[in-house]
Amino acid sequence: MEYSISTFEKLLQACSSENKKIYEIMQEKEAYDFEISVEEVRAKILKNINAMKEAIVSGLTSKEMSFSGLCGDDTNKLKEKYKKSPALFGNLFEKITTFALATIEENLRMNKIVACPTAGSCGIVPAVIIALAQEKDITEEDEINALITAGTIGYIISSKIAMAGAVAGCQAECGVASAMSAAAAVQLLGGSNEQIINGATLALKNILGLTCDPVGGLVEIPCVKRNAFLAVHAITATELVLANVESKIPPDEVIDAMVQTGQLMSPLLKETSMGGLATTKTGKAINKCLESKKQK
């Protein structure tokens, strides 16, 4: 079935007219657009989910540092901390934070990850979906539904703005990933279509203006830890919408605000490493060491 879905308003209209969930509408759209069956669409999504799980497993056991030597051991540090002192927010929090770090650290090692929506934000969506699935005994079929739902959020946002730090700062990378994760989490926990969209909206609007200021031009500082923070941010949005807390600003208007914020943001704060954390005293010192290492 052909659908023209470029806004959240149109998405909800399609869901209402067909009396279907978001993932059902989008898997049918994908099947139509690419001339394949829904079963083939879901098989492709499952392949991505399995790749996410593999990255988490690998990342949880590896201590290999990145080429720069700056990052790579944070997952292990967090695991050791949790062995001695459980997380204040419980086992789900432990899994989400460690899974997010494990995945993004696999990216630093140049191992296989799923860019969702980008490589620099690759730990957020997997952490939320896989951790929730494990803790809530959620089926593989529901994991697929959740990832399709998450992808729908990214798809609609990308129709208005490129999801790249160079275009709109990290709000367009980790911010969007957090919105996608919130939508996935609400789907996994049985929320309505409206609650799913509202979860994405709350997550996105409360991270507007997040800069992209990587130290040394590497997707390491502050990118690695940011994945853990924004994964938890998605759960906050999920808890709020399941309590029927609503965003007063509609989702499509929040995207417009993100676009405007990106346009107003200084180029120095959009992946150029010419502002923010990258130009702090320590940031400059790290960059100098990296340049010296390259020369050697």
What is the 3 state secondary structure string of 165-219?
HHHHCHHHCHHHHHHHHHHHHHHHCCCCHHHHHHHHHHHHHCCCCCCECCHHHCC
- How far apart, in whole angstroms, are the C-alpha atoms of residue 293 and residue 296? 5
What is the percentage of the chain residues whose pLDDT exceeds 90?
96
Contact 215, 278 (CB under 8 A): yes
Write the pLDDT tens digit of every residue in 141-172: 999 999 999 999 999 999 999 999 999 999 99
pLDDT per residue as tens digits for the range 70-85? 999 999 999 999 999 9
Quickly state the pLDDT bin for 3 (edges 50, 70, 90).
confident
- Predicted confidence (pLDDT) per residue in 182-214, tens digit: 999 999 999 999 999 999 999 999 999 999 999
Instruction: Give residue 2's pLDDT.
Output: 63
Residues in the chain: 296
Give the tens place of pLDDT for each residue, 102-115: 999 999 999 999 99
Q: Which domains does the chain have, with CATH numbers?
A: 8-295 (1.10.4100)
pTM of the model: 0.97
